[in-house]
A and B are shown apart, each in its own frame.
Chain A
Amino acid sequence: MTIPRPLYILIHMNFKIIDPLTGTCSGAIIAFVVSQIIPTDWNMFLAMAVGGGIALVLKFVLLLLLAPFFGAFEVMIPLSITAMSVGMLSGMMSAHGSVPDGCIFVTGGMIGLAVSAAIYFSNKKLTRLQ
C-alpha cells in the first residue's frame, strides 16, 4: 500500500514539530466540533459538561488516529489535558452566544499549543533530573 505524499511527510517529520502541530490541531478540532454542537441558548454549566463529554469522545478518536504514527503516551497525555480543558471551555463559550466560532476555534488551538509546550518543558525537566 502506498502512503499519500502529504501523509508520508507528516509521519516522518521531526517530533519537535509534530508534537506542537498535533497539539494545536487537536485543540482546534475539538473546539470547532464542540462549538458546532452546543446551542447558544444552553445553560453554561450544562454546556461545560456536554462540551467535556464531546471532547472525551473526540479524544478517543484522535488517539486512535494519531498514536500509531506518533507514539501512544506522547499523544495520550497532551491530548487528555487538551481535550478536557478545550471541551469544557468551548462549551461555555459556545453557550455564551456572543463569541464567534472563529474565536473558539483559535482559542482551542492555542490551548493545544500551550499544553504541548508545557509538556515539552516538563519532559525536559523530568528526563534531565536523574
Chain B
Amino acid sequence: MDQNNKYDGVARVFDFFREGDMRRWGHAQKNHFKHMQGKVLHIGIGTGMEIINFPSGLDITGVDLSPKMLERALWRARQYQGKIRFCLMNAESLAFPDNTFDTVATVCVFCTVAHPVAGLKECRRVLKPGGKLLMFEHVMSKNLIYGLSLKFMSLFTTALEGTHLDRNTVENVRKAGFTVQKEKNVYLDIVKTIEGVK
C-alpha cells in the first residue's frame, strides 16, 4: 500500500487517535506558532487539527498527500479567521515556485516523509530568504532508555503506518541547509519545537 492510500485508510480514525496529543500539546503549539507570519505553507495538514493553534488572519496553504484527510480538514478551514487553501501534494516535490512563502510549518510530519532531507530541501526552496521553518516534531531521544523504547516501537510503527520514531530531525534540518535558531523540548527530549531560518 502506498503512503497516500495508507493515510486515506486512517483518515476516519485519525482525529480520535490524535485527540490526546492535541490536549497535551495544544498550548505548546499555540506558543510556537504565534511566530507565523505572511504567506504560510503548512506541510502535512492532515485533518487540520492544528489549525486551531495558528494565529488568525494568515494566508495559509495546506498540503497533504491524502485526499480523504483534506476532505476532513474542510470544516476546520471554514472556521479559521483567515485564508486557507488546500493542495494535494507530496512534501518531497512541492509544486510552488522558489521563494514563495514567509513561513513553513509542520506538525509531526517529518517522521513519515520517506526522504526527510529531500522534503526539507523542498521547504527551503519555497521559503523566501530569511523565511522561517517552524516545526513541531517528535525525534529520537539521546537518553539510552527512552531511545531503546523508541527504536523498538519504531519497528512496528514504520511497518504499520510508515512513522519513524527514531529520526534525528534537528540534524536533518541542518543537512537541508537551514540555520537552526531554536530547539525546545516539549516532552522529554522526544517532542520538540524547532525553529529554522533559510
A8 close to chain B: CB less than 8 A: no
A127 close to chain B: CB less than 8 A: yes
Interface members, chain B 93-141 (any A CB < 8 Å): 138
Kindly count the residue-residue contacts between A and B in the assembled complex, taking CB atoms under 8 Å apart. Answer: 59
Interface members, chain A 65-109 (any B CB < 8 Å): 67-77, 80-81
Interface members, chain A 1-56 (any B CB < 8 Å): 15
A68 and B146 contact, Cβ closer than 8 Å, known pairs A76-B153, A126-B185, A130-B185: no
Q: How many residues of B contact A (CB 8 A)?
A: 26
**Residue interface bits B163-175, CB-to-A below 8 A is 1, else 0:** 0000000000000
Q: How many residues of A contact B (CB 8 A)?
A: 22
A80 and B149 contact, Cβ closer than 8 Å, known pairs A70-B20, A71-B24, A130-B183: yes
* Residues of B bordering A, CB below 8 Å: 16-21, 23-25, 138, 143, 145-146, 149, 152-153, 156, 183-191
* Residues of A bordering B, CB below 8 Å: 15, 60, 67-77, 80-81, 119, 122-123, 126-127, 129-130
Q: Can you pick out 13 interface pairs between chain A and chain B where the beta carbons lie within 8 Å of each other?
A: A68-B18, A69-B20, A70-B24, A73-B21, A74-B24, A74-B187, A77-B149, A80-B152, A123-B188, A126-B185, A126-B188, A127-B187, A129-B185
